[in-house]
Amino acid sequence: MKKCTDYSRRRFFRNAGLGAAAITGLPALLSSCAGKSSKPAGLEDLFQEGHVILFQGDSITDAGRNRNREMPNDAGSFGFGYANLIASRLLGTMPQKKLVIHNRGISGNKVYQLAERWQKDCIDLNPDVVSILIGVNDYWHFRLGRYDGTPEVFENDYRQLLTRTKEALPGVQLVICEPFVLPDTSAVDASWMEPFSAYRRSAARLAEASGAIWVPFQEAFNAGMNLAPASYWAVDGVHPSMAGAQLMAETWLKALLV
């Protein structure tokens, strides 16, 4: 999935005009893969001056943000979650890039609810990078009998959303985050894992088909659970702790660099 020949990734890196990649005349990722540069790609190489980055999703992205503000690069508008940690890292370490970073996650959202507000909360912001984390409510609310969307509905709705995004924003770099759950927690038990895996596989297929960067959150949490109990990373198995948000931020940043 992270093939060096991925067209969307090439485009993303080709846009990064100010980094080492531009100096060599080759996209950083490609030059790294081809062994033509000894300098690994860094975050500096990924973003062009003035790039607009959007985080989209459900409560995990929302993370208590003040939805009355919705200002870019503003802590209160970002909430307490992984999007804040990532945005703070990007803004603090690359001041010269003048990045503009938004959070538009809304608690409780399923993929069709992203679609309902996509014009206002994505397209109109004209983002260069769109990171999406969605899926846990699509399963959770289905499991609870509050929603009749099947995994197939999820995948079809998600595919349409991505197609629409690429049509409206031809140069956009998509980042698709793996939805995840942690068993042996207050809300999630082992019986979630098999049915929920369908949603994870859907997201992975769509990432591959759309040339998105894939962020393997479930894999990261599985590794984390070898070091500390699931509840250390997310008390209810869905909403990450501070440690869980940090694990997500590191995983997201690493996915962009690989």
Nearest alpha-carbon partner for 159 in 120, 111, 106, 200: 111
Nearer Cβ to a second copy (55/142): 55
What one-letter code names the amino acid at 142? F
Nearer Cβ to a second copy (142/233): 233
Shortest spacing between CB 246 and a second copy, in angstroms: 2
Residue with tokens 């990649």: 21
Handedness of CA 225, 231, 235, 241 (dihedral sign): negative
Nearer Cβ to a second copy (81/211): 81
Shortest spacing between CB 194 and a second copy, in angstroms: 26
Nearer Cβ to a second copy (181/249): 249
Shortest spacing between CB 92 and a second copy, in angstroms: 2
Shortest spacing between CB 134 and a second copy, in angstroms: 21
Tokens of 47: 């973003």
**Distance in angstroms (rounded) separating the CA atoms of residues 30 and 168:** 27
**Quick one: how many helices (H) and strands (E) in the chain?**
14, 5
Nearer Cβ to a second copy (13/252): 252
Shortest spacing between CB 232 and a second copy, in angstroms: 6
Query: What is the H or E stretch that residue 57 is in?
Result: strand 52-57
Q: Which residues bind a second copy (CB under 8 A)?
A: 63-64, 73-76, 78, 80-81, 84-85, 87-89, 91-93, 95-96, 224, 227-228, 232-233, 241-247, 249-250
**Distance in angstroms (rounded) separating the CA atoms of residues 189 and 112:** 26
Rg value, the chain, Cα: 18
